[in-house]
């Protein structure tokens, strides 16, 4: 009888516990890729990685570098004369004809949507002056971005050079950099593009090869596919949901579409953006010299799990006021300090603190921002600011 009573008690307890929401376990997504990573775009925080620093061949995701260099060249409106060398490039093609003239912008669309290797060579010769000149630019940009384990030897990713490789992490860095460019985002996220044919009355029509973008995943915002016999399937893709933007990379993945969906869903399910510091004037400072006179120029937002929210703390460090030298607002240093943002013991951000002057006023709050501040104050919620 006592055993039966105990069992009933345990079952009732289990039932009532199930009524309350619990945090989802941070179980890593299962992926087919030999190397994989998913990061949050703005902060660069890595949500999941699998051999993400291992050097591998990357195939046509190389063309992300080719595209951003073309866009940054300032030559997108120029006409490119296609060379015999470009026309004869093997592999996936736009079927360009030697001697034809085509707008550089059209070539970049063909490069990203249809993965045209002939387009890659035409772009490289026009932007870099030669293939060698463009490859030099590619490696220079990789160094600038911080791609420490990458070497580029061609603009398309074909297996014609041994020293052409990268890592999932480095390709995520490259994509994070490229996604800051509005034109790149537009091209990467285009599903279908029409390019006027210089020799015919009809247009060339290119449909994006990225199945995530064209219907497989509703949160997809763009990316680049790749394949060679040696690299196998490679894929870079981007996705956005509820204001959070993610970047996923897989190298040598037999099930790359599913890999990317799994990684994106993992990120969206387990992480949320938290506004740690808000743009505008700081309040509740101990020093009367600074009270209501210093500000942040923009918000600081960071992705965290539900369990991590209570681990965030901020440390404001301001210069000691020197009233003997700071006689006018122009004498006050710029900035007057900084705020360190911690997640546990790790520094995840650093924001400058500015003193408000006539020449450097604090950002004005909109009516919506003021309403939000009053609303959250009423609820007893306080952001640092």
Annotated binding site: 224
Does residue 22 lie within any of the structural domains? no
Please state, for a pLDDT cut of 90, what percent of the chain lies above it. 76
- Of 378 and 143, more confident: 143
Final residue of a domain: which of 235, 270, 305? 270
Per-residue pLDDT of 176-198, as tens digits, reads 999 999 999 999 999 999 998 87
Of the three residues 270, 291, 319, the one that is the final residue of a domain is 270
Could you tell me if 258 and 327 lie in one domain?
no
Whole-number pLDDT of residue 156? 98
Nearest to 266 by CA among 1, 117, 47: 47
This prediction has a pTM of 0.85
Please identify which of the residues 35, 50, 60, 92 carries the catalytic annotation.
60
Same domain membership, residue 341 and residue 256: no
Q: Which of 35, 50, 63, 220 is catalytic?
A: 63
Asked if pLDDT for residue 360 goes beyond 80, the answer is no
35, 92, 115, 220: the catalytic one is 115
Pairing label, strands 192-196, 46-50:
unpaired
pLDDT at 381 (0 to 100):
39
Range of the structural domain that residue 81 is part of:
35-270
What HEC string does the chain produce? Answer: CHHHHHHHHHHHHHHHHHCCCCCCCCCCCCCCCCEEEEEECCCCCEEEEECCCCCECCHHHHHHHHHHHHHHCCCCCCEEECCHHHHCCCCCCCCCCCCCEEEHHHHHHHHHHHCCHHHHHHHHHHHHCCHHHHHHHHHHHHHHHCCCCCECCCCCCCCCCCCCEECHHHHHHHHHHHCCCHHHHHHHCCCEEEEECCCCCCEEEEECCCCHHHHHCCCEEEEEEEEECCCEEEEEEEEEECCEEEEEEEECCCCHHHHHHHHHHHHHHHCEEEEEECCEECCCCCCCCCCCCEEECCCEEEEECHHHHHHEEEEEEECCCCCCCCCCHHHCCCCCEEEEEEECCEEEEEEEEEECCCCCCCCCCCHHHHHHHHHHHHHCCCCEC
The pLDDT of residue 361 is: 79
Each residue's pLDDT tens digit, 295-307? 999 999 999 999 9
Residue 16 lies in a domain: no
pLDDT attached to residue 324: 85
Higher pLDDT, 231 or 12: 231
Average pLDDT over residues 156-178: 97
The answer to whether the beta carbons of residues 223 and 116 sit under 8 Å apart is no
Which residues fall in the annotated binding site for substrate?
A: 224
Do 129 and 208 lie in one domain? The reply is yes
CA 194/CA 200 separation, integer angstroms: 13
Paired with 194 in beta bridges are 205
pLDDT confidence of residue 24: 44
Same domain for 242 and 338, yes or no, is no
Of 4-18, 120-134, 137-151, 200-214, the one with minimum mean pLDDT is 4-18
Q: Is 81 part of the annotated catalytic residue set? A: no
Q: Is 60 a catalytic residue?
A: yes
What CATH number does residue 89 fall under?
3.40.710.10
pLDDT band at 4 (very low <50, low <70, confident <90, very high): low
Q: Which of 227, 249, 270 is the last residue of a domain?
A: 270
Together in a domain, 221 and 313: no
């Amino acid at each position: 009888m006592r055993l039966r009573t105990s069992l009933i008690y345990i079952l009732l307890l289990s039932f009532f516990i199930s009524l309350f929401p619990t945090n989802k376990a941070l179980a890593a997504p299962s992926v087919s890729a030999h190397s994989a990573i998913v990061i949050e775009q703005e902060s660069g925080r890595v949500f999941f990685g699998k051999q993400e620093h291992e050097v591998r061949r990357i195939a046509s995701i190389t063309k992300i570098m080719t595209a951003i260099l073309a866009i940054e060249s300032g030559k997108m409106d120029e006409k490119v004369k296609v060379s015999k060398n470009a026309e004869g490039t093997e592999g996936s093609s736009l079927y360009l004809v030697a001697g034809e003239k085509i707008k550089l912008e059209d070539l970049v669309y063909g490069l990203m949507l249809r993965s045209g290797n002939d387009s890659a060579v035409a772009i490289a010769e026009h932007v870099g002056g030669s293939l060698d000149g463009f490859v030099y630019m590619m490696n220079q940009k990789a160094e600038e971005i911080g791609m420490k384990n990458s070497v580029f030897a061609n603009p398309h990713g074909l297996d014609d050079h041994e020293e052409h490789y990268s890592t999932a992490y480095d390709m995520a860095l490259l994509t994070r950099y490229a996604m800051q460019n509005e034109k790149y985002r537009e091209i990467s996220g285009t599903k279908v593009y029409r390019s006027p044919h210089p020799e015919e009355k009809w247009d060339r029509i290119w449909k994006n090869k990225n199945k995530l973008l064209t219907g497989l995943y509703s949160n997809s915002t763009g990316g680049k596919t790749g394949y060679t016999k040696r690299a196998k399937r490679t894929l870079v893709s981007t996705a956005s949901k509820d204001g959070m933007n993610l970047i996923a990379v897989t190298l040598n993945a037999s099930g790359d579409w599913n890999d990317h969906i799994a990684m994106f869903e993992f990120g969206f399910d387990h992480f949320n953006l938290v506004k740690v510091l808000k743009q505008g004037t700081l309040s509740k400072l101990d020093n009367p010299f600074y009270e209501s006179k210093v500000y942040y120029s923009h918000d600081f937002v960071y992705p965290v799990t539900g369990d991590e929210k209570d681990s965030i703390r901020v440390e404001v460090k301001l210069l000691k006021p020197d009233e003997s030298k700071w006689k006018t607002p122009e004498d006050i240093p710029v900035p007057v300090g900084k705020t360190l943002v911690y997640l546990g013991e790790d520094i995840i951000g650093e924001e400058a603190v500015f003193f408000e002057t006539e020449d450097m006023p604090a950002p004005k709050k909109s009516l919506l921002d003021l309403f939000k501040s009053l609303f959250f104050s009423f609820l007893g919620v306080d952001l640092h600011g």
